[in-house]
């Protein structure tokens, strides 16, 4: 709940006009709805009394029928304007929230606290944000109009009959209490259980589908089906419980509204018999009691989503906080010196690096020292899983070592401003991330203001010029799903073209030719060498072909780095892959 | 957001007109999903109808409640007219409220449970379909299927448990309420009769435009989530190129565009709910004014002879809002219908794919099953396989019986994997025969046959669970010492130190936490644990491994080949170099390259 409040507060701060304006506008149709019923009831009884007292008009009928028309009008158009304004505010807010959540996720990825990064987890975040639209529309607006209008009605009715007003207020308060439980701990735990059951089923079904080959051979197919079935049972049970609770809540509210009518009427009648109330106000009370629960019913319809929203708000808020922390860290770094690269000095140096994935796990890197003189080309080899890629990630500040220091161009990596770091160093690796947009947009991620000519130059250095020229849309060809599919080698080249647009001083290549066949690997390597001429290069590899042109070769094994002499001994060569 | 779009869809379909005015137009074409859905929920329809009936009766009990209240109020104002004691009236209303509550909860419970039952049945049948499928079938991505099981089938629940009961009440409740008003005043009933059906008509007029706009809108919404997901997946690249800030701006900008286009749709869509407000408020106002002037004696029409009484007037006024309530509920639940139908479309699509393949699988069943001999030889004779028009394997012959390491080499795409699939019985042969111990493999039962082979696939799957549980899938009774030995054989025993908890340590979905090389070697250990395997098949076992590790894997395969035949598809010269026999697959034809005897290091 605290997270929800916090996010509501943010909304209020970002869009104060729409927030308060929407709230106030929401009161108008709600009040008009109650007033319409109340005046109608009052009008009928007043006219009946007038009719009884034989023509003596005690009540201005035209005034009453005018106010009936006015309230009907307010009801109709107030509702329209209110909905337009509150929805607009919500969408404005969600757009901001989405980018804040994005910042938070990136920040978490950066400081290594992201525990899971599967597509499931990411799409969960996306749907979390979408769920929060209800926070304003289905929680703040109906709840505040319900409480404020109930209060207002009681104040007005108090003059006519305090006793009946108290009865009215008590039943309405009881209804609110029932609904408040929907946002309570039990419901929240239930929502969590639902999420867990969902995730379990998702994982089991995808295991079943992806692994059906291995499962049919190793005989786990039936077992897997049963375990998925168990998840189904659990999910259905929780879901059924949820739906039953929601249905019962709505039933309780509807019953309470009938109780409210009956009890209010009884007290009004009693007040009249005691001589404390005028006759024509009895119907007024009955009809207010008839209209007032409408507020509760609209709350009851949305109450089912509160516990879901509350869980989503918790997660979103913690991401927003991460985003703010990283913003603070970045602004603290922003004043750092720029790295300087001079011949004869080290462009990159690592001292006494220690790294482990979790505090408890064994260290992957222990006391690693490394210095790269400006303009040198260094290759690190080692068995798979030795920590070569981790080392590359540490240099690029994608991972943070537990101990030790990294300097880039004489500046401590910890203090280096993000933009200066990214201008000085780039990683090209085995994983190429291609975005669902055009080739030009994919390249301009590296340099926003690059001209078309720059893009073509980069593509030609990467050996992709012919391919792109052969497409009808040229640079505007779409990549990814439904667009041009790039092969492994082409993807690698696109990443190289991107990096070339940056033109950094230090190039880190993490298993650049991994997974490519021999011929393709050679051409990718040739492009890489051409692009990085005269730059400082650190390559991480286990392929013999990548070692050509290296000034220095180091072996990473058991967490330590050791330099080997060139030319390579047969023993070392044997450890490499030679295809 | 999806629930929000309810506002767009809730009132935006011409079906509103169709269902509520029950002018069931003919000739409207139903989508495949709609037809499937009707079929799929048929067993539960009876229950849903019963639930809806109980809820409907509960709603109709408002008529006596309103009558009691109206009489009691009238009795106080005009002691000479018909009246009721306030206390008795209140007590009766409360009693009726309790009955209504009971009926509503009972009816709602029946509907919710029926929905749960339908959901459960659909999920169970999806799971068994998936299990009975030939593994060689091409299916949509596993994530997509998982989301059908989790999200789409779940969406059928609210459709069945919430929307359908409201829909079936919609045709009954307003009519009875109308009749009760007509009993008091035909004029008031006439007003309602005109206004009631007008609501859906107006909604439909606005709705047709809104639907067009909202279809486009759904596309933008998908783009919105898609962009965020796309950028999140590539966030490492964005960080490396300092483009995080720019992506934030992009996301905000697209959010702004999304807002504007959504609002364009919503402004139209809200008009249709305004129509509902318009008619319900107008009906209340008109009734109140009509009743008022009748009581004053200014108007004297609309009743049957005797003038309208106060009790009658109050009664009519109390029924009017309830007359519009089912429509309001229908509009609110309309989102459930849209979600249910959309889900049905997805499910039907998958169902089609599954059905096609089940027919193939059922051909193999229904044969007499012979126990599998402990030893024997695998013989492939004149095997030909094609997919669609393309012929993949032509007249392949192969015999495997003695313990040896046999390599099939050839560039990728020449049918090595197809050959393995045929041996495993995942793919049926067009011509020729695959036999073991003289009998076709199908005579042992495909499942038995498959489970007598050890496989190391190209992309081995590890499962959510401990290392031990993963290994024991191949050797159920193996103790920890045997498991460790197998890991050593596959040169992957360092995992025991790397993964916290050793054999009891968890590996995640898709073998998360292991590199591809580790996964492959781990799968090799798993394959080695099946001691009674008649044959070991390995598909590209050394891909993505460094020299040292690849050599270890070759040694392990060599060790395994001492006891039973090992068939390897590869183009790694290291593996080819250690083979006892080398075959080449070229354009679907299998040719023996050379035959060598003896062990090699």
Taking the C-alpha atoms of residue A76 and residue A73, their distance in angstroms, rounded to an integer, is 5
Q: Does B82 touch chain A (CB under 8 A)?
A: no
Asked if A384 lies within 8 A of B546 by C-beta distance, the reply is yes
**Residue of B445, B377, B436, B442 lying closest to B406 (CA atoms):** B377
Taking the C-alpha atoms of residue B18 and residue B6, their distance in angstroms, rounded to an integer, is 19
CA A551 to chain centre: 46
Alpha helices (H) along B133-243: 142-147, 153-158, 164-170, 173-184, 186-233, 235-240
| Higher per-residue pLDDT: B218 or B402 | B402
Asked if B251 lies within 8 A of A95 by C-beta distance, the reply is yes
Asked if B225 lies within 8 A of A130 by C-beta distance, the reply is yes
Q: Given this model, what pLDDT does residue B5 score? A: 36
Q: Check pLDDT > 60 for residue A578.
A: no
CA distance B33 to chain A (A): 22
Taking the C-alpha atoms of residue B492 and residue B231, their distance in angstroms, rounded to an integer, is 35
Q: Given this model, what pLDDT does residue B362 score? A: 45
Q: Identify the band that residue B453 occupies on the pLDDT scale cut at 50, 70 and 90.
A: confident
Q: Residue B61 is encoded by which pair of tokens?
A: 């009990």
Taking the C-alpha atoms of residue B410 and residue B539, their distance in angstroms, rounded to an integer, is 12
Percent of chain A at pLDDT exceeding 70: 88
Taking the C-alpha atoms of residue B526 and residue B460, their distance in angstroms, rounded to an integer, is 10
Are β-strands A411-412 and B378-387 bridged in parallel, bridged antiparallel, or unpaired? unpaired
Q: What is the count of residue pairs from A and B with beta carbons less than 8 Å apart?
A: 442
- Tokens 């089923």 appear where? A201
CA geometry: angle at B458 spanning B457 and B460, to 5°?
Answer: 60
Taking the C-alpha atoms of residue A4 and residue A1, their distance in angstroms, rounded to an integer, is 5
**Residue of B430, B429, B461 lying closest to B446 (CA atoms):** B429
Q: What are the pLDDT digits (tens) for B396-419?
A: 888 888 888 888 887 666 777 788
DSSP, collapsed to helix, strand or coil, labels residue B279 as: helix
Highest mean pLDDT among A12-26, A505-519, B237-251: A12-26
Residue of A nearest to B308 (CA): A48
Q: Is the dihedral angle over the CA atoms A463, A464, A469, A471 positive or is it negative?
A: positive
Q: State mean pLDDT over B69-93.
A: 86
CA B308 to chain centre: 57
Q: Does A476 touch chain B (CB under 8 A)?
A: no
Taking the C-alpha atoms of residue B110 and residue B104, their distance in angstroms, rounded to an integer, is 10
DSSP, collapsed to helix, strand or coil, labels residue A412 as: strand
Residues 264-283, chain B: which have Cβ within 8 Å of A?
Answer: 266-267, 270-271, 273-274, 277-278, 281-282
Taking the C-alpha atoms of residue B382 and residue B399, their distance in angstroms, rounded to an integer, is 12
Helix or strand holding residue B319 (H, E): helix B310-364
Q: Check pLDDT > 90 for residue B109.
A: yes
DSSP, collapsed to helix, strand or coil, labels residue A531 as: helix
Taking the C-alpha atoms of residue B444 and residue B166, their distance in angstroms, rounded to an integer, is 54
Residue B246: list chain A partners with CB under 8 A.
445, 448
Q: Residue A255 is encoded by which pair of tokens?
A: 């019953």
Full 3-state SS string of B87-136:
HHHHHHHHHHHHHHHHHHHHHHHHHHHHHHHHHHHHHHHHHHHHHHCCCC
Q: What is the DSSP letter of B151?
A: I
**Paired residues of A438 in beta bridges:** A478
Q: Cβ atoms within 10 A of the Cβ of B39, count? A: 10
Residue of A nearest to B86 (CA): A266
Lowest mean pLDDT among A66-80, A473-487, B210-224, B443-457: B210-224
B77: left (phi over 0), alpha (psi -120 to 50) or beta: alpha
Q: Which residues contact A196 (CB under 8 A, 6 or more apart)?
A: none
The CA distances from residue B571 to A525, B567, B568, B574, B583, in Å, are 22, 13, 10, 9, 11
Among the partner residues A122, A210, A290, nearest to B461 by beta-carbon distance: A210
Q: What are the pLDDT digits (tens) for A279-321?
A: 778 888 888 888 888 888 878 877 777 877 888 888 888 888 8
Average pLDDT of chain A, as a whole number: 80
Q: How many CA atoms lie within 13 A of A206 on its CB side?
A: 21
Q: Does A548 touch chain B (CB under 8 A)?
A: no
Q: Check pLDDT > 50 for residue A4.
A: yes
Predicted complex ipTM: 0.76
**Residue of B200, B191, B210 lying closest to B170 (CA atoms):** B200
Q: Given this model, what pLDDT does residue A405 score? A: 85
Question: Do the beta carbons of residue B504 and residue B466 sit within 8 Å?
Answer: yes
- Tokens 């993505």 appear where? B544
Q: Which residues contact A471 (CB under 8 A, 6 or more apart)?
A: A477, A484
Highest mean pLDDT among A358-367, B109-118, B317-326, B531-540: B109-118
Taking the C-alpha atoms of residue A538 and residue A550, their distance in angstroms, rounded to an integer, is 9
Q: Residue A169 is encoded by which pair of tokens?
A: 């207020």
**Residue of B190, B157, B166 lying closest to B16 (CA atoms):** B166
Q: Check pLDDT > 90 for residue B54.
A: yes
Residues 312-351, chain A: which have Cβ within 8 Å of B?
Answer: none
Asked if B259 lies within 8 A of A91 by C-beta distance, the reply is yes
**Residue of B115, B125, B124 lying closest to B157 (CA atoms):** B115
Asked if B240 lies within 8 A of A305 by C-beta distance, the reply is no
Q: Check pLDDT > 80 for residue B439.
A: yes
Among the partner residues A133, A213, A239, nearest to B157 by beta-carbon distance: A239
Residues 169-208, chain B: which have Cβ within 8 Å of A?
Answer: none
Which one of A214, A228, A521, A570 would you mutate to disrupt binding with B, by most B Cβ within 10 Å of its Cβ?
Answer: A214
Q: Residue B417 is encoded by which pair of tokens?
A: 């994997």
- Tokens 């108290």 appear where? A166
**Residue of A410, A323, A402 lying closest to A355 (CA atoms):** A402
Percent of chain B at pLDDT exceeding 90: 12
**Residue of B467, B376, B333, B468 lying closest to B20 (CA atoms):** B333
| Higher per-residue pLDDT: B334 or B453 | B453
Q: Residue A489 is encoded by which pair of tokens?
A: 């080698």
DSSP, collapsed to helix, strand or coil, labels residue A189 as: helix
Q: Check pLDDT > 80 for residue B474.
A: no
DSSP, collapsed to helix, strand or coil, labels residue B522 as: helix
Taking the C-alpha atoms of residue B144 and residue B36, their distance in angstroms, rounded to an integer, is 20
Q: Which residues contact B73 (CB under 8 A, 6 or more apart)?
A: A45, A265, A282, A283, A286, B310, B311, B314
Q: Identify the band that residue B594 occupies on the pLDDT scale cut at 50, 70 and 90.
A: low
Q: State mean pLDDT over B444-456.
A: 82
Residue of B nearest to A95 (CA): B255
Q: Identify the band that residue B212 occupies on the pLDDT scale cut at 50, 70 and 90.
A: low
Q: Check pLDDT > 60 for residue A11.
A: yes
Q: What is the DSSP letter of A183?
A: G
**Residue of B159, B177, B52 lying closest to B110 (CA atoms):** B52
CA distance B272 to chain A (A): 10
Residues 388-417, chain B: which have Cβ within 8 Å of A?
Answer: none
Tell me whether the omega of the peptide bond preceding residue A567 falls within 30 degrees of 0, making it cis. yes
Average pLDDT of chain B, as a whole number: 78
Which one of B11, B82, B150 would you mutate to disrupt binding with A, by most A Cβ within 10 Å of its Cβ?
Answer: B150
Helix or strand holding residue B340 (H, E): helix B310-364
Q: Does B510 touch chain A (CB under 8 A)?
A: yes
Residue B361: list chain A partners with CB under 8 A.
none
Taking the C-alpha atoms of residue B165 and residue A286, their distance in angstroms, rounded to an integer, is 30
Q: What are the pLDDT digits (tens) for B485-512?
A: 888 888 887 777 777 777 777 776 555 5
Q: Given this model, what pLDDT does residue B220 score? A: 58
Alpha helices (H) along A162-305: 162-180, 185-210, 212-218, 221-273, 281-291, 293-303
Q: Does A232 touch chain B (CB under 8 A)?
A: yes
Question: Do the beta carbons of residue A328 and residue A352 sit within 8 Å?
Answer: no
Spell out the domains of chain A, with CATH numbers in brackets. Answer: 2-317 (1.20.1560.10), 346-575 (3.40.50.300)
Q: Check pLDDT > 60 for residue B2.
A: no
Q: Does A553 touch chain B (CB under 8 A)?
A: no
Give burial (CB, 10 Å; 0-12/13-18/19+) of B113.
middle
Q: State mean pLDDT over B221-243.
A: 72
Spell out the domains of chain B, with CATH numbers in brackets. Answer: 6-355 (1.20.1560.10), 378-595 (3.40.50.300)
Lowest mean pLDDT among A106-120, A350-364, B155-169: A106-120
**Residue of A347, A482, A359, A363 lying closest to A421 (CA atoms):** A347
């Amino acid at each position: 709940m605290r997270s929800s409040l916090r996010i509501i507060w943010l909304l209020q701060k970002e869009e104060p006009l729409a927030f308060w304006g929407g709230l106030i506008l929401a009161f108008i149709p709600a009040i008009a709805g109650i007033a319409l019923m109340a005046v109608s009831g009052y009008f009928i009884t007043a006219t009946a009394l007038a009719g009884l007292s034989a023509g003596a008009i005690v009540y201005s009928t035209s005034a009453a029928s005018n106010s009936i028309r006015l309230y009907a009008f307010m009801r109709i158009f107030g509702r329209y304007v209110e909905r337009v304004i509150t929805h607009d505010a919500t969408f404005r807010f969600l757009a901001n929230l989405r980018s804040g959540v994005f910042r938070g996720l990136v920040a978490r990825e950066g400081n290594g606290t992201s525990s899971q990064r599967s597509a499931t987890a990411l799409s969960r975040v996306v749907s979390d944000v979408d769920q929060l639209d209800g926070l304003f529309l289905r929680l703040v607006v109906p709840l505040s109009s319900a409480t404020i209008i109930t209060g207002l009605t009681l104040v007005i009715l108090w003059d006519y009959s305090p006793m009946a007003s108290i009865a009215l207020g008590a039943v309405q308060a009881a209804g609110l209490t029932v609904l408040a439980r929907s946002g309570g701990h039990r419901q929240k735990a239930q929502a969590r259980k639902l999420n867990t059951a969902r995730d379990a089923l998702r994982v089991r079904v995808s295991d079943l589908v992806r692994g059906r080959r291995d499962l049919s051979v190793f005989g786990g197919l039936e077992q897997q089906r049963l375990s998925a079935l168990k998840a189904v049972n659990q999910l259905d049970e929780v879901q059924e419980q949820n739906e039953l609770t929601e249905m019962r809540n709505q039933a309780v509210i509807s019953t309470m509204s009938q109780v409210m009518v009956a009890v209010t009427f009884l007290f009004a009648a009693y007040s009249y018999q005691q001589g404390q109330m005028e006759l024509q106000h009895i119907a007024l009370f009955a009809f207010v009691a008839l209209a007032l629960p409408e507020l509760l019913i609209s709350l009851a319809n949305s109450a089912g989503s509160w516990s879901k929203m509350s869980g989503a708000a918790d997660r979103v808020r913690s991401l927003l906080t991460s985003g703010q922390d990283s913003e603070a860290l970045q602004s603290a770094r922003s004043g750092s010196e720029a790295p300087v690269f001079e011949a004869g000095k080290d462009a990159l140096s690592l001292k006494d690096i220690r790294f482990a994935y979790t505090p408890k796990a064994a260290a992957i890197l222990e006391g690693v020292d490394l210095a790269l003189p400006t303009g040198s080309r260094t290759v690190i080899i080692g068995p798979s899983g030795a920590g070569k890629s981790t080392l590359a990630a540490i240099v690029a500040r994608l991972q943070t070592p537990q101990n030790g220091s990294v300097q880039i161009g004489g500046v401590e990596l910890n203090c280096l401003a993000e933009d200066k770091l990214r201008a000085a160093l780039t990683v090209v690796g085995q994983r190429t991330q291609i975005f669902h947009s055009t080739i030009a947009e994919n390249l301009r991620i590296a340099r926003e203001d690059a001209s078309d000519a720059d893009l073509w130059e980069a593509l030609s250095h990467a050996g992709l010029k012919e391919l792109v020229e052969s497409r009808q849309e040229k640079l505007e060809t779409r990549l990814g799903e439904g667009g041009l599919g790039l092969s492994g080698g082409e993807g690698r080249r696109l990443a190289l073209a991107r990096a070339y647009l940056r033109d950094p001083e230090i190039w880190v290549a993490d298993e650049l030719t991994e997974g490519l066949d021999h011929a393709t690997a050679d051409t990718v390597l040739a492009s890489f060498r051409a692009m990085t001429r005269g730059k400082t290069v650190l390559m991480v590899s286990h392929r013999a072909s990548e070692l050509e042109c290296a000034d220095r070769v180091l072996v990473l094994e058991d967490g330590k780095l050791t330099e080997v002499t060139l030319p390579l001994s047969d023993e070392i060569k044997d450890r490499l892959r030679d295809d | 957001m999806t629930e929000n779009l309810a506002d767009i869809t809730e009132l935006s379909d011409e079906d509103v007109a169709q269902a509520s005015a029950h002018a069931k137009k003919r000739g409207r074409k139903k989508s495949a999903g709609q037809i499937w859905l009707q079929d799929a929920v048929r067993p539960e329809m009876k229950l849903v109808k019963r639930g809806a009936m109980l809820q409907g009766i509960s709603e109709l009990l408002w008529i006596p409640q309103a009558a009691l209240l109206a009489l009691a109020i009238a009795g106080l104002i005009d002691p000479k007219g018909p009246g009721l004691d306030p206390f008795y009236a209140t007590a009766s209303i409360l009693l009726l409220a309790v009955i209504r509550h009971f009926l509503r909860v009972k009816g709602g419970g029946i509907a919710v449970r029926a929905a749960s039952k339908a959901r459960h049945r659909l999920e169970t049948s999806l799971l068994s379909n998936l299990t009975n499928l030939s593994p060689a079938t091409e299916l949509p991505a596993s994530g997509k299927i998982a989301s059908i099981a989790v999200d789409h089938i779940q969406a059928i629940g609210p459709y069945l448990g919430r929307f359908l009961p409201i829909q079936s009440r919609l045709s009954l409740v307003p009519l009875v309420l109308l009749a009760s008003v007509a009993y008091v005043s035909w004029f008031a009933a006439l007003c309602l009769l005109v206004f009631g059906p007008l609501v859906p008509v107006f909604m439909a007029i606005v709705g047709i435009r809104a639907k067009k706009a909202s279809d486009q809108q759904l596309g933008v919404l998908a783009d919105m989530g898609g962009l965020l997901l796309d950028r999140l997946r590539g966030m490492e690249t964005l960080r490396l190129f300092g483009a995080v800030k720019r992506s934030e701006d992009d996301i905000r900008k697209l959010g702004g565009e999304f807002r504007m286009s959504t609002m364009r749709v919503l402004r139209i869509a809200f008009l249709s709910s305004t129509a509902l407000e318009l008619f319900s408020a107008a009906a209340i106002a008109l009734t109140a004014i009509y009743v008022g002037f009748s009581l004053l004696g200014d108007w004297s029409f609309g009743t049957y002879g005797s003038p309208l009484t106060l009790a009658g007037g109050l009664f009519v006024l109390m029924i009017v809002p309830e007359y519009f309530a089912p429509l309001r509920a229908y509009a609110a639940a309309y989102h459930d219908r849209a979600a249910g139908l959309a889900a049905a479309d997805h499910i039907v699509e998958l169902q089609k794919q599954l059905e096609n393949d089940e027919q193939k699988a059922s051909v193999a069943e229904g044969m007499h099953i012979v126990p599998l001999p402990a030893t024997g030889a695998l013989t492939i004779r004149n095997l030909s396989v094609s997919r669609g028009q393309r012929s993949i394997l032509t007249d392949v012959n192969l015999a495997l019986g003695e313990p040896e390491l046999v390599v099939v080499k050839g560039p990728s795409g020449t049918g090595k994997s197809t050959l393995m699939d045929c041996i495993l019985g995942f793919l049926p042969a067009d011509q020729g025969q695959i036999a073991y111990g003289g009998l076709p493999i199908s005579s042992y039962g495909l499942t038995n046959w498959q489970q007598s082979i050890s496989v190391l696939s190209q992309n081995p799957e590890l499962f959510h669970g401990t290392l031990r549980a993963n290994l024991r899938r191949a050797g159920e009774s193996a103790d920890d010492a045997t498991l460790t030995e197998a890991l050593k054989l596959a040169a992957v025993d360092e995992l025991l130190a790397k993964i916290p908890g050793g054999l009891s340590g968890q590996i995640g979905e898709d073998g998360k936490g292991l590199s591809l090389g580790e996964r492959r070697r781990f799968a090799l250990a798993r394959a080695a644990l099946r001691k009674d395997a008649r044959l070991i098949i390995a598909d590209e076992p050394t891909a993505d491994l460094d020299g040292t590790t690849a050599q270890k894997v070759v040694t392990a395969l060599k060790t395994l080949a001492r006891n039973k035949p090992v068939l390897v598809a590869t183009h790694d010269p290291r593996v080819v170099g250690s083979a006892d026999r080398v075959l080449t697959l070229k354009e679907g034809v299998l040719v023996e390259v050379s035959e060598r005897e003896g062990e090699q290091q």
